[in-house]
Amino acid sequence: MRIFSGIQPSGIPTLGNYLGAIRNWAALQDGNDCIYCVVDLHAITVFQDPAALRQQTREMAAVLLACGIDPEKHIVFLQSAVRAHAQLAWIFNCVARLGWLNRMTQFKDKAGKDRENASAGLYVYPNLMAADIHAYHATAVPVGDDQRQHLELANDIAQKFNHDYGVEFFPRIEPYIMGPAARVMSLRDGSKKMSKSDPSEQSRINLNDDADTIALKIRRAKTDPEPLPSEPDGLADRPEARNLVGIYAALTDGDAASVLREHGGKGFGAFKEALAALLVDHLAPIADETRRLLADPDHIDAVLGRGAARAAAIADPIVAEAERLVGFVRV
Ligand code: AMP
Ligand code: TRP
């Protein structure tokens, strides 16, 4: 099975990125052929300071390696280094319908009230994402729950392309939305997802936070005054409690029921202490390894360079064939 996924270098990766995506990417390596991409073309749909983008791009690559992704067995690379992505995205811009894009909730969230001032790139973002996947004929895409709608659109685009050109060229893709933390919420507001770009530092755990910072953020995380319930049903109207239990479940490879068997009836003070300790155990080795890798940026660049060459060797012929199907003359 060929697996593809991407992550934007638009900030420091969060616990949401880790539990919703990166950890699953690492777990899927056994027995599959995986292609993992730092999507810098997507990042600039919202303005990025060039120096910060360069730094964050190498940091993101280092985090992927630190989380155990093997760039020799699999492929790790930068989206902007493989031209096939932008080339196929243009074709998909001409396949996708405005009506489809108008339904995308991520665009509405990111554009906010000032829609007129959003970039055109932000609007066609899902077409580029569809191109990322289809340029490799990938069939399985591990992502967090927030990307479900984009993957449905990627299937609609493939289906319309195949139909319009009378071919069976792009395969159907399956979303892999895995584990009890496929949607990690903000620590300050249980109705908002945890995000790299949230203005509040307190809303998220960053993968490079030190032990004291993690403990403080968890201690300050919003909760309600009730003790933890003993059954998952008791979390129904308690989004903040549900979020912390979901994170704990993901880190212990359990589910809400197993966490509540252990902690049901306890107040949040004790539970938060246990959760912070678990987080530090998981994240400290990743932060250490990321720091070690970042001390040698030439090594990171070399890994990414090899990854791009191998990615292009797969994507270029597929996109060339798509261009031929569309009717472009090649001389
Ligand atoms: P992004 O940071 O938007 O580039 O997202 C990269 C990956 O992390 C995608 O697969 C997202 O679905 C996933 N992700 C981002 N935020 C969260 C979150 N709060 N909970 C779970 N998964 C997330
Ligand atoms: N849009 C995804 C996100 O913000 C990132 C992404 C870009 C992606 N291209 C992709 C994810 C292709 C999976 C497959 O989370």
- CB of residue 8 inside a 6 A radius of ligand 1: yes
What are the pLDDT digits (tens) for 236-249? Answer: 999 999 999 999 99
What are the pLDDT digits (tens) for 54-101? Answer: 999 999 999 999 999 999 999 999 999 999 999 999 999 999 999 999
For residue 312, what pLDDT is reported?
98
What are the pLDDT digits (tens) for 284-294? Answer: 999 999 999 99
In a domain, residue 187? The reply is no
Burial (0-12, 13-18, 19+ Cβ within 10 Å), 318: middle
For residue 330, what pLDDT is reported?
86
What whole-number percentage of the chain has pLDDT above 90?
Answer: 99
106 and 23, same structural domain? yes
151 and 210, same structural domain? no
- CB of residue 24 inside a 6 A radius of ligand 2: no
141 and 19, same structural domain? yes
141 and 41, same structural domain? yes
In a domain, residue 194? The reply is no
> What six digits make up the tokens of 151?
């993957």
In a domain, residue 103? The reply is yes
In a domain, residue 43? The reply is yes
In a domain, residue 189? The reply is no
pTM assigned to the model: 0.97
In a domain, residue 193? The reply is no
Pocket test for ligand 1, best of 4, 15, 17 (most atoms within 8 A of CB): 17
In a domain, residue 24? The reply is yes
| Res. 331: pLDDT tops 90 | no
Give the type of residue at 24: N
- CB of residue 63 inside a 6 A radius of ligand 2: no
Domain harbouring 225, CATH code: 1.10.240.10
Tell me, in angstroms, the distance from the centre of ligand 1 to residue 146's CA: 7
305 and 261, same structural domain? no
In a domain, residue 239? The reply is yes
**Distance between CA atoms of residues 2 and 16, nearest Å:** 24
45 and 169, same structural domain? yes
Pocket test for ligand 1, best of 15, 56, 146, 198 (most atoms within 8 A of CB): 146
For residue 131, what pLDDT is reported?
99
What are the pLDDT digits (tens) for 255-313? Answer: 999 999 999 999 999 999 999 999 999 999 999 999 999 999 999 999 999 999 999 99
170 and 79, same structural domain? yes
**Distance between CA atoms of residues 304 and 79, nearest Å:** 10
Burial (0-12, 13-18, 19+ Cβ within 10 Å), 146: middle
Q: How many domains does the chain have?
A: 2
228 and 147, same structural domain? no
54 and 37, same structural domain? yes
- CB of residue 131 inside a 6 A radius of ligand 2: no
Computed over every residue of the chain, the mean pLDDT equals 97
What are the pLDDT digits (tens) for 153-167? Answer: 999 999 999 999 999
Give the type of residue at 213: T
83 with 39: CB under 8 angstroms?
no
Domain harbouring 163, CATH code: 3.40.50.620
pLDDT-based confidence at 318, cuts 50/70/90?
very high
138 and 27, same structural domain? yes
60 and 160, same structural domain? yes
Which helix H or strand E contains 246, and what residues bound it?
helix 239-251
**Distance between CA atoms of residues 288 and 51, nearest Å:** 23
What are the pLDDT digits (tens) for 134-190? Answer: 999 999 999 999 999 999 999 999 999 999 999 999 999 999 999 999 999 999 999
119 and 12, same structural domain? yes
**Enclosing domain of residue 14:** 2-182+296-326
For residue 7, what pLDDT is reported?
98
